A and B are shown apart, each in its own frame.
Chain A
């Protein structure tokens, strides 16, 4: 089938502009995203994302699977915050059934969730440096992410798609080594974030490439529905962990990282700040994990009472929402994920117009897209 040039792309075609496909296979679009760029020299005139290359009909599969089986599908949506995705579905089911999970489960879920956030931001930082040309950051970021992956591998058995949460608690109790490993990691990582700052953040080349680039104003962030660090960097305070706390997040104190610049550098700094805050959350919880059961038993076949249920959580990318319509059977009638990446991607055209191709790469690196999250 020949490539269709959408009507909007050719409407404003002046004779000097040309049309480039930052195609599905590209080193800088983290995943299979096709961007149709209309460029005049080096200046970008229009950006149109073309999605759907990794659509796997997860929501349709959820209409067939039972609730325990849905959890393992969410692993593969935003695979960098897989634990938090699992937690979202489990919370929907538990709230709908009125199930009260033990304190131990809530605390462990929060700790592992924050560790997942740190791991996601480590990878984001590494890839951001690599996109801008500083290749060493990739390896440094991955070295720290490996330590977190080892923690997960010891407790859950898997490094990326963990499927550790079940409706009712955790599949297995944490490994005896868990607390020591996490403490060692926290101590190690506290010395590394200043090193990251020395290597990249203060660097004059980096500052010149990211300051004042891709400015998103607060009103635009709200009207596009951006969430997560993208919105917080524009001054829109929207942290789900603060406004609708879940699991053990109402017991910890942390500050929301807000900046007002709205440019790429602000988004970068918000994420670095978030890493510090996540570290402090983990530190507050790791010493006092309450004793108790790691699981509440549910029926073998879970049936939610008929009705609609919604739960939102804060993944590393923004606000993920799970909306379930149940008709009383063992599978949901309809399940919809409100993915953070989809709304964050919609700001791309608005903020990238007028900047150069190099700026587009920097902007996409800070919006932190994970395409399977958008396409599901």
Chain B
């Protein structure tokens, strides 16, 4: 068939595959979150639907699909319906650049890291639209808080990733993984890299509005924040998008800091298709870490959140970049 049609057919096929990954990952993550939360809290968690509860999220999704799609009176209908799609689309676009393995990499552009940071900024538009168009004071408060939070923490995410780009020398994600054949970047960069990792985890958690930074949807203060007025499938979109965002942050950290799809010490170098397994393993360890944060710490107040970012994380980040630049320039990185 002609070039153009084949190209378009390939794009559609890849898009469908990624939609599949998106939904499966979302469903699986929701279940993992609920069971891990239960184990932290001396409970058992959902284990009745399907073997050990695997079909639980499917049951939840069925329930959500069958719910009535309510809307508030005098809500801005167009924006109200549009808001969930922003978060979904930004999550999908970010997933497309993740390097699952050497071959399984849909969109390997040369500005990979920059693209990821830019896409995460689009997600916040969905939250703001959702809060504003709901015509509900609680949702508005939640949305405004979220806008302020995301704008502040994008800086820290960007700067900490930039610190690691100094070692790899390239923004392209596959190049970053190739550089780590000499040892994971967190080991190569020793002290500044560890600091950058900690800052990335903190700001990544804040970017995705998860506890301890979940004032946006602070359940005990505002009911449900910006998605108070959403029900049914649209609520499911917000809900799934939050979990996929968590997955993306963990995946970026696994790629940039922990070697992506490379096996530790190159033990399974000869089986390149195992790269997907290693990538997912590292991502899930980091997802578990984020869940651990959520179920232990109380929530920060809005002004404390901003104080944390502007007075603590940002100065440390800037000093860290200078330190990392010095280390790279003086060839003090640990190479294997």
Residue contact A358 to B295, C-beta cutoff 8 Å: no
In the bound complex, residues from chain B placing their C-beta under 8 Å from that of A26 are: 223
What bracket does the count of chain A residues touching chain B fall in? 20 to 34
Check A133 against B43 for contact (C-beta < 8 Å).
Answer: no
Q: Are B302 and A42 in contact (CB under 8 A)?
A: yes
A206 adjacent to B298 (CB under 8 Å): yes
Residues of chain A within 8 A (CB-CB) of B32 are none
Q: In the bound complex, what is the Cα–Cα distance between A200 and B296 (angstroms)?
A: 9
- Contacting A at CB under 8 A, from B216-230, are 218-223
Question: What's the Cα separation between A205 and B304 when bound, in Å?
Answer: 9
**A209 B220 Cβ-Cβ under 8 A:** no
Question: Could you tell me if A203 and B298 are in contact, using CB atoms closer than 8 angstroms?
Answer: yes
Given A26-B223, A131-B220, residue A20 in contact with residue B299 (CB < 8 A)? no
Given A205-B298, A358-B215, A133–B220 Cβ distance below 8 Å?
A: yes
Stretch at the interface among A62-70, A83-91, A134-142, A310-318: A134-142
Q: In chain A between 197 and 246, which residues have their CB closer than 8 angstroms to a CB of chain B? A: 199-200, 203, 205-206, 208-209
Does the CB pair A133–B211 fall under 8 Å? Answer: yes
Tell me whether A357 is interfacial, beta carbon within 8 Å: yes
Cβ-defined contact, A20 with B137, below 8 A: yes
**Number of residue pairs A-B, CB distance < 8 angstroms:** 79
Contacts of B215 in A (CB 8 A): 358
In chain A, positions 85-118 with a C-beta closer than 8 Å to chain B are none
Hey, which chain B residues are within 8 Å of A136, CB to CB?
Answer: 40-41, 295-296
CB–CB B299/A133 < 8 A = yes
Decide if B302 touches A205 in the complex (CB within 8 Å): no
A306 to B37: give the CA distance in the assembly, Å. 60
Q: Which residues of B contact A353 (CB under 8 A)?
A: none
Q: Is A129 an interface residue (CB 8 A)?
A: yes
Contact of B214 among A133, A199, A205 (CB under 8 A): A133
B42–A129 CB distance below 8 A: no
Q: Is the CB of A359 within 8 A of B301?
A: yes
A96 CA to B312 CA, complexed, in Å: 65
Say yes or no: A358-B221 contact (C-beta < 8 A), given A129-B298, A133-B214, A133-B297.
yes
Kindly identify which residue among A134, A143, A209 contacts B296, using a CB–CB cutoff of 8 Å.
A134
Closest Cβ–Cβ distance, residue B287 to chain A (whole Å)? 18
Shortest CB-to-CB span from A20 to chain B, Å, is 5
Q: How would residues 124 to 163 of chain A score, 1 for a CB under 8 Å from any chain B CB and 0 otherwise?
A: 0000011111111011100100000000000000000000
B42 touches A357 (CB 8 A): no
> Given the known A-B contacts A26-B223, A27-B220, A130-B220, are A135 and B41 also in contact in the complex, defined by CB atoms under 8 Å?
yes
Q: Is residue B212 contacting chain A, with contact meaning CB distance below 8 A?
A: yes
Residue of B137, B214, B219, B295 near A27 (CB, 8 A) is B219
Q: Which residue of B lies closest to A143 (CB)?
A: B42
Q: Return chain A residues, CB-CB under 8 Å to B211.
A: 133
Q: Is the CB of B297 within 8 A of A209?
A: no
Contact B301 A356 (CB under 8 A): yes
Q: Given known contacts A203-B297, A205-B298, is B218 in contact with A133 (CB within 8 Å)?
A: yes
B3 interface residue (CB < 8 Å to A): no
Q: Are B302 and A358 in contact (CB under 8 A)?
A: yes
B103 within 8 A of A: no
* B297 pairs with A134, CB closer than 8 A: yes
Bits for B176-219, please: 1 = Cβ < 8 Å to A, else 0: 00000000000000000000000000000000000110110011
Most-contacted residue by chain A among B37, B40, B222, B298 (CB, 10 A):
B298
Answer whether A361 and B304 are a contact pair too, CB < 8 Å, given A135-B295, A203-B298, A206-B298. Answer: no
A28 within 8 A of B: yes
* Bound: A40/B223 CA distance, A: 19
Q: Which of B42, B220, B301, B303 contacts A140 (CB 8 A)?
A: B42
Taking a contact as CB atoms under 8 Å apart, the answer to whether B298 and A134 are in contact is yes
A133 contacts B212, C-beta separation under 8 Å: yes
Decide if A139 touches B220 in the complex (CB within 8 Å).
no
Task: Find B42's partner among A42, A139, A203 (CB 8 Å cutoff).
Answer: A139
Q: Which residues of A contact B42 (CB under 8 A)?
A: 139-140, 143
CB of B138 closer than 8 Å to a CB of A: yes
B97–chain A nearest beta-carbon distance, Å? 32
Q: Which residues of B contact A (CB under 8 A)?
A: 37, 40-43, 137-138, 141, 211-212, 214-215, 218-223, 295-304
Query: Contacts A28-B220, A205-B297, A361-B221 given; 17 further ones with Cβ under 8 A?
Result: A131-B220, A132-B298, A133-B214, A133-B218, A133-B298, A133-B299, A134-B299, A136-B40, A136-B295, A140-B41, A199-B296, A200-B298, A203-B298, A205-B299, A206-B298, A209-B301, A358-B221
Could you write out 7 A-B pairs with CB less than 8 Å apart?
A: A18-B137, A134-B299, A135-B41, A205-B297, A205-B299, A358-B218, A361-B220
